[in-house]
């Protein structure tokens, strides 16, 4: 389930070369379980035909107030029912009309009656986009409380290189989801660690673990969508940096410790999901360790890494909420409670690792939350994105 399930989305398409991307955006909304109605300007129909949008949305497209509709107030009905409106691509002409309340076609007239959140996705030639009048109109819409998604930069259809490209449909889709989420972490600063640490043995080998970063990144994404100002300190992973999150890449436990402690004072909530290597080679070599022909064994002496969470637990103030994770193969509750007490945590999220459905690498997780006040909460097996949201619900509840 996503934020868009069962929501009514109004997708406005205006006449830009990127109108074809609105087809993919529509498909993403439908796949997420949203109902979609499409509004098109006359010029949009010069780029993509109405039929494509009608077939994929399973609804008639509204493009003419007088000829398209079975009802003379269809546009009011659509505006009233909408949970979110997205104009993608939005041309300079439509932006100007919307900024000044001009209602001379189906799209601009419908938008005057809309009261739900609106996302405008400008897309045009760079000089047009940077034109003072266009920027002024975008400022007006933003001041009125509408959301503006900056265009991407790159080679445009007119062969100019610069800002003006409509962002990828999945990115717009993600931002629409964020727009609909309750901002219950607004202005809260959240410091999260994710992924593994890698401890070098020599320039080509290292000691690490199976963390993929999925759980920590899911929490970072969820916190950002809920209005949090998120800093993510991450070991090496293969996941795109979450949108709107400040990402700091590290390799070793020492580097992670340095970055977590440097960002600690400003944080309201600290969530330590990273799987930190407890030990590191005592004497990492600067040259590759060579294979010796007549020796079967190689001993590597390891030394303790600092316990970052324990250090944070000692420094944290009473206003800061500290969450740790416990990765266990057995005695989940006993080990988690010991870690919570030893590291001075407000909450610990305990998960069984080494299973095919929870813990490392999996898309799902099964977590039990334990709190300082002695209470606990079971999160059954579900997608890590959903686990992240429930975990944040509990952090907010305990902080109140």
CB of 4 to ligand PMT, least distance (A): 24
Residue 206 touching ligand PMT (CB under 6 A): no
Tokens of 219: 């929490």
Whether the CB-CB separation of 201 and 289 falls below 8 Å is answered with yes
Residue 211 touching ligand PMT (CB under 6 A): yes
Q: Which of 361, 375, 380, 397 binds ligand PMT (CB under 6 A)?
A: 361
Q: Residue 166 or 327: which CB sits closer to ligand PMT? A: 327
Q: For this structure, is 253 an active site residue? A: no
Beta strand spans in 243-375 (E): 246-249, 269-272, 279-281, 302-304, 321-328, 347-352, 364-371
Q: Measuring CA to CA, which residue among 75, 80, 4 is closest to residue 40? A: 75
Q: Which of 275, 379, 392, 395 binds ligand PMT (CB under 6 A)?
A: 275
Partners of residue 196 on adjacent β-strands: 275
Residue 334 touching ligand PMT (CB under 6 A): no
Q: Is 115 left (phi over 0), alpha (psi -120 to 50) or beta?
A: alpha
Residue 274 touching ligand PMT (CB under 6 A): yes
Whether the CB-CB separation of 22 and 29 falls below 8 Å is answered with no
Residue 74 CA to residue 38 CA, distance in Å, equals 12
Helix, coil or strand: residue 182: coil
CB of 347 to ligand PMT, least distance (A): 11
Residue 359 touching ligand PMT (CB under 6 A): yes
Stretch that binds ligand PMT, among 54-62, 127-135, 280-288, 304-312 (CB under 6 A): 304-312
Cα→Cα distances 289→36, 259, 297, 299, Å: 60, 30, 13, 12
Residue 370 touching ligand PMT (CB under 6 A): no
Active-site residue identified among 116, 158, 247, 253? 158
Residue 326 touching ligand PMT (CB under 6 A): yes
Residue 214 touching ligand PMT (CB under 6 A): yes
The site map against ligand PMT for 226-255 (x = CB under 6 A) is: ---------------------------x--
CB of 382 to ligand PMT, least distance (A): 13
CB of 40 to ligand PMT, least distance (A): 42
Beta strand spans in 41-182 (E): 84-90, 118-122, 147-148, 152-155, 161-165
CB of 363 to ligand PMT, least distance (A): 9
Whether the CB-CB separation of 184 and 205 falls below 8 Å is answered with no
Q: Residue 108 or 364: which CB sits closer to ligand PMT? A: 364
Size of the site for ligand PMT (CB under 6 A): 27
Distance of CA 92 to the CA centre of its chain: 29
Q: Residue 99 or 277: which CB sits closer to ligand PMT? A: 277
Q: Which of 12, 213, 242, 313 binds ligand PMT (CB under 6 A)?
A: 213
Burial class (CB in 10 A: 0-12, 13-18, 19+), 301: exposed
- Residues labelled catalytic: 158
Which residues contact ligand PMT (rule: CB under 6 A)? Answer: 211-216, 253, 272-276, 278, 305, 307-309, 324-327, 339, 351, 353, 359-361
């Amino acid at each position: 389930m996503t934020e868009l399930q069962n929501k009514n989305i109004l997708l406005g398409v205006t006449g830009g070369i990127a109108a074809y991307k609105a087809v993919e955006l529509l498909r993403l909304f439908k796949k997420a379980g949203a109902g979609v109605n499409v509004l098109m300007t006359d010029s949009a129909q010069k780029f993509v035909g109405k039929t494509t949008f009608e077939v994929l949305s399973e609804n008639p497209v509204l493009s003419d107030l007088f000829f398209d509709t079975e009802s003379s107030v269809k546009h009011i009905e659509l505006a009233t029912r909408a949970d979110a409106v997205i104009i993608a691509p939005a041309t300079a002409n439509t932006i100007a009309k919307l900024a000044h309340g001009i209602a001379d076609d189906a799209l601009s007239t419908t938008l005057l009656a809309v009261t739900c959140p609106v996302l405008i996705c400008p897309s045009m030639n760079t000089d047009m986009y940077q034109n003072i009048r266009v920027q002024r109109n975008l400022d007006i819409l933003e001041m009125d409380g509408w959301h503006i998604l900056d265009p991407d930069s790159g080679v445009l259809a007119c062969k100019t290189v610069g800002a003006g490209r409509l962002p990828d449909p999945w990115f717009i889709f993600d931002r629409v989801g964020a727009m609909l989420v309750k901002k219950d972490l607004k202005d809260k600063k959240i410091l999260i660690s994710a992924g593994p640490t890698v401890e070098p043995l020599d320039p080509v080998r290292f000691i690490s673990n199976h963390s993929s970063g999925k759980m920590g990144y899911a929490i970072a994404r969820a916190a950002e969508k809920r209005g949090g100002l998120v800093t993510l300190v991450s070991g090496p992973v293969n996941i795109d940096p979450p949108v709107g999150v400040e990402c700091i890449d590290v390799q070793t436990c020492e580097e992670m410790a340095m970055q977590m402690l440097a960002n600690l004072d400003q944080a309201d909530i600290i969530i330590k999901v990273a799987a930190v290597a407890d030990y590191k080679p005592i004497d990492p070599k600067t040259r590759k360790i060579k294979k010796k022909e007549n020796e079967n064994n190689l001993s590597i002496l390891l030394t303790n890494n600092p316990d970052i969470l324990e250090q944070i637990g000692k420094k944290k103030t009473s206003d800061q909420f500290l969450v740790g994770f416990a990765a266990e193969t057995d005695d989940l509750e006993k080990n988690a409670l010991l870690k919570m007490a030893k590291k001075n945590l407000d909450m610990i999220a305990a998960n069984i690792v080494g299973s095919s459905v929870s813990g490392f690498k999996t898309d799902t997780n099964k977590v039990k939350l334990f709190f300082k006040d002695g209470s606990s909460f079971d999160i059954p097996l579900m997608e890590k994105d959903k686990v992240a949201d429930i975990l944040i619900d509990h952090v907010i509840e305990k902080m109140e």
